[in-house]
Amino acid sequence: MYKCFRLINGMDLKKEIEKYAIDNNISGIIICSVGSLKKLVIRLADGKNILENEGAFEIVSITGTLSPNGVHIHIAVSDDLGNTIGGHLKEGCIINTTAEICLEIFDNIQFNREYDDSTGYDELVIYDQ
């Protein structure tokens, strides 16, 4: 099953995607998204450094897993010079004009996020239904 929704100027991208997954009890994936941001907040690949920047950013890719108790999302954006950067989506990414989110929802498996001692993060656990 597929679901699509649109977010508007001023909304927090991560908070709204997470709220949608929780409110709709979704186990699924983000299959595509387009839109723009006026503020970018991402965790970089080292897992420690957070990049915050304000300006004009086009969303060129979003991918991630959604569960009723949390999300794990990565984003790539390009700036007004065409430079592209990506990382782990954090709260504080503010939509400029729009963000169109398309999801694939699974009905035969349940995603859950559970703490993993080996990583120190809530990680994806998959249950057959």
Residue 104, CA distances (Å) to 1, 3, 20, 24, 64 in order: 6, 7, 13, 13, 11
Rounded to whole angstroms, the Cα distance separating 12 from 49 reads: 20
Rounded to whole angstroms, the Cα distance separating 2 from 95 reads: 23
Cα dihedral 60, 40, 118, 114, rounded to 10, equals -80
Q: How many CA atoms lie within 13 A of 116 on its CB side?
A: 9
Task: State residue 129's pLDDT score.
Answer: 80
Side chain identity at residue 71, one-letter code: V
Task: State residue 47's pLDDT score.
Answer: 87
Max CA pair span of the chain: 47
C-alpha closest to that of 17 among 86, 101, 96, 75? 101
Task: State residue 94's pLDDT score.
Answer: 98
Residue carrying structure tokens 């990583």: 119
- Regions of the chain where pLDDT drops below 70: none
Domains of the chain: 2-107 (3.30.1330.80)
Rounded to whole angstroms, the Cα distance separating 72 from 57 reads: 21
Task: State residue 20's pLDDT score.
Answer: 97
Task: State residue 41's pLDDT score.
Answer: 98
